[in-house]
Structure 1
Amino acid sequence: MEDITIKKIRRVLSYKGREDLSDLLRHSTSELSESSTFGSRWYSRLSTFEIKSHPLTQNKLDKLAKEDIEEIKNAVLVIFPLKDNEPEITEITFYPDFDIEAHDLVEVKELERISFDYIHEQIRKCNDKIAEKDFDGAITSARNLIESICLFILESKTSEKHEYDGNMVKLYKAVASILHMSPGDYEDDYLKQILSGVFSIINGVSGLRNNYSDSHGSSPSKAVYRIDERHSILTVNLAKTISEYLFLSFEKSAK
């Protein structure tokens, strides 16, 4: 399960329009180290807040601009406001954590081995999360699968490294254009409807994950809606179908 404090921080980042930073901290953990030294408020304790991430994620954090790091730090301070008899955050640090499992991290390089077996293994992980009643997590993993396959295809076809900005719809449109999967590429009206439906599903999965899943927090002014099991199952099955379709289209384009 996601670190509770990190989840709150990511919620703040998402609300401020920084989904990219929110996604970057998805698998991170946190630790609050309180000292015995009193701070500027009544019985507040000078404290250090540590954000620990997988080394691959830490490498990306190290490359962030100073302004982006400040965004993350400001989000931490929103969660830990200066109050009497509370931790007073005076330092925020970032560390690589080699104990964090890498299997949940979606890296394009994994997809050098892309196959139906890979897709089905990721879907199995989604279904495991559903069985554990982690419906938000299942939706996040389902989207990650589509994103990672799209990134792999895009980089394979263009022979260029792409920096993903988190816009899943834009990513899918780029891949659909390269693989001739857009509705406009076909004359048959029914096939056009089906392909238009795929675009709608991509938009829906993207919006559902952005608004409700554990990858993004809800606006503080919005009522929190918990994803229902049936919607989680539907989303995962749609992700499986689209991922297989993407893979088959990519294989055909290589022949």
Structure 2
Amino acid sequence: MRLSPRTLDKLTGVITGDGGPYPYRGGPKIIAFFNALGWDDSYGAGFGSRNPHTREKLDALNGTSRMRDAVLAAFDIWGEPDLDPEAAAADFNKLLTRDGYRLAKVIGPGWIDNGHEVEGVPRFKLVALSAGTVDPVALAAVSHATLGEYIEKCRAKIASGDSAGAITNAYTLIEAVLKDLLRQAGVAFKADEGDIRALYTALKAPLHLDPKDESLEVHLKTVLDGFQKLVSGLYATANKASDRHDRRYHPAPHHAKLVVNAAFALGDFLYDTHEYQRARRAAEAA
């Protein structure tokens, strides 16, 4: 997720509490805020001023998946005294929508208390205004900063109309996913291998993705055969319509969305499969 300098200025004030009706955060709380996002800093000598420190951290997050976490953490302000979270979000959305996102209120699941229905707890979620891509839950949850950056680049290029660039990033995302899973599976491969067909073939055995596996149900074989063809399709499309090579045609926006969504779905499936196989082996060894 990448924000404009003006939006980053506004978010800096939201986090410090100096930019309007937001909770005030002193130095120790600002350190704690960013430590929750991956840093391991201590408050003390060298901290400097609150606003420059906050903006420096946001600049480091900008363009990564953790920027989304920073925005949501900044607006986790339900229950603050004398503060209207929805009004605060509406004010921030005036800038955020220019970057292709908005904060939207959602209500968590409710419950029954003594026979009465209790409404769930409210929170904010970030909605991409382009509404052009699926949400790769398993893929986005992977602790691999590069993957998060590729996801955000795909979304940003779809939103900006850079169809060829979106296809390039989708291909690179799948290449990175396959290499990461091969490393975790202990399968040797060429570090400079750029053919996702070869990488996927190497991953089929450890993740049990071979549609010819006789132990699989027929319907699963059909799905796995489809994923194998999907990988070949992504390879061919990237060669002809991305900016990786001298492309033969300019892809239409809906073709780019199809490729990006297919890459997201494939990446989600592969990480879910990896986790399933890992848990299964652990259970068998117990």
> TM-score, normalization: structure 1?
0.50
> TM-score, normalization: structure 2?
0.45
- Larger CA Rg, structure 1 vs 2: 2
Higher strand share: 1
Q: Does 1 or 2 have the higher relative contact order (CA < 8 Å, sep 6+)?
A: 1
